[in-house]
Amino acid sequence: MTDLGALDGVTSGAFGINDSDLIVGESSSTDGTNHAVLWQGMAISDLGSFVGPNSFADAVNNNGQIAGQGTFGSFTHGFLLSPAVATPPPANPPVTTASLHGKHRNSSGWYTGPVTVTLTATDTGGPGVASTFYTIDGGAQQTYSGPFKITGDGTHTLSFWSVDTSGSAETPNTMSVMIDTTPPVTTDQISGNLTNSGWYTGTVTITLSATDAISGVARTNAVLDFWRYYPNGGPITVSTTGYHVLFFWSVDNAGNEECPHFVVFKIDNTAPQIEANGAAKSLGNGNWLITVSGFATDCGSGLASPLPTFSVSDNSGTVTPTNVSNVRGTHPGCFVIQFNAFLPSTVPPPSTGTSSTSGTSGKGGKCQTGTGSGSSGSSGSTGTRGGSSPTGHDKVSILLQTSDNVGNQGSKTVCISM
């Protein structure tokens, strides 16, 4: 037996109990009235403030509803007391923020290495944060215990939230974490007329193609021959003779810069050059010994042959040389050509001397009586002719031709006045 006690009087009565051990009944008060009461454990509550004096509670159900009799004005009425339904305060879940730390190369928002994530949760006005959780790319839920890393190229989705000690959960936050640690890849394609010698002729075009599967290509750079910069990567066209080197590389939107590549190519669009002069010596009866000496150079693919070919003509037309000898000089490109030519249209000079005239002409020039077209040079001195002035009786034109290893052909005409 348990003594339930009374209010401030000396008597009480218990009339009902529910499954939760709530007990209802009555108890006397010092003013001489009886009040309906409720016992919760050993604590007694006066229900008279609700139902008036000289009241009693007769029964209580498992929902906490109490039935009994009370005074309402001048009358006695039965009553039903129901527990007040408390309106819970508005939910005030925690607030979680994330801070990211990693290597940036520019302001694009891309990281170029692992990213460290720090989560901070607050529960202002709430009972306090119980736990913080996160997921990466929709994976398994993880409980936050300290900063963690996100790695791997690509765009990652980070979700995070907290729960307070009352069980109030925050709506998950999401943010994107973009990582690109891989530079672009640039390839080149060179097009043009490539000869068997390995030299190009004409115009060479280099087309650059760059790919980047993560953040994308921002720009492609190229530098030709160490000085000419192409900020947009071309296409690049080159036609000048010589060796060329093209450096090229790309940068992605994250700022990753590719190590430069290079391509070497050579172009020959320049014909060989010939410099030469000649001299003639009469052997009598219209037969002349003609000597041509000079040198040929090529600044590109090089001479196809160390000695040029030649053809001879005079005022009457083509002359067939005889007793031809070609001598290659000790220095590259140097040559001496010597041959006999029978020139029936010439009048041999007096036997007391010989006459020789040497000069050089422009490319493909043709010797003519008088001033030769495209020629430069002057008559040499003549032998003694009994004081008379020398007279040119004929002119010989020697056309020299040579070619380089890609087929560019150069020519030179040497004019000799007889």
HEC readout, 229-257? EECCCCCEEECCCEEEEEEEEEEECCCCE
Q: What is the CATH number of the domain that holds 113?
A: 2.60.40.10
Is 411 found in the same domain as 292? yes
> Both tokens of residue 5?
């006690």
Is 361 found in the same domain as 258? no
Show which of 246, 267, 288 is a domain's final residue. Answer: 267
Domain assignment present for 385: no
Show which of 27, 51, 81 is a domain's final residue. Answer: 81
Is 249 found in the same domain as 225? yes
57-74 core/surface letters (b: 16 or more CB in 10 A; e: else): bbebeeeeebbbbbbeee
Show which of 267, 298, 328 is a domain's final residue. Answer: 267
At residue 345, the pLDDT reads: 53
Alpha helix positions (H), 117-250: none
Quote the domain boundaries for residue 231.
185-267
Domain assignment present for 5: no
Residue 46 sits at the vertex; the CA angle it makes with 40 and 17, to the nearest 5 degrees, is 40
Is 400 found in the same domain as 321? yes
Residue 277 sits at the vertex; the CA angle it makes with 276 and 281, to the nearest 5 degrees, is 145
Overall number of domains in the chain: 4
At residue 90, the pLDDT reads: 60
> Both tokens of residue 128?
């306090």
Domain assignment present for 298: yes
Is 298 found in the same domain as 256? no
Is 211 found in the same domain as 234? yes
Is 326 found in the same domain as 221? no
User: Which residues have CB under 8 Å from 331's CB, separation 6+?
Assistant: 295
Taking only the tens of pLDDT, the chain with its 418 residues reads 888 888 877 799 999 999 988 999 998 887 788 889 898 877 888 888 788 888 899 999 998 899 999 888 778 889 998 887 655 556 689 999 999 999 998 889 999 999 999 999 999 888 899 999 999 999 999 999 999 999 999 999 999 999 999 888 999 999 999 999 999 999 999 999 999 999 999 999 999 999 999 999 999 999 999 999 988 877 899 999 999 999 999 999 999 999 999 999 999 999 999 999 999 998 888 889 999 999 999 999 999 998 999 999 988 788 899 999 988 877 878 999 999 988 765 444 443 333 333 433 334 445 543 333 333 333 333 333 333 333 444 689 999 999 999 999 999 999 998 7
Domain assignment present for 87: no
Domain assignment present for 25: yes
Domain assignment present for 386: no
At residue 8, the pLDDT reads: 78
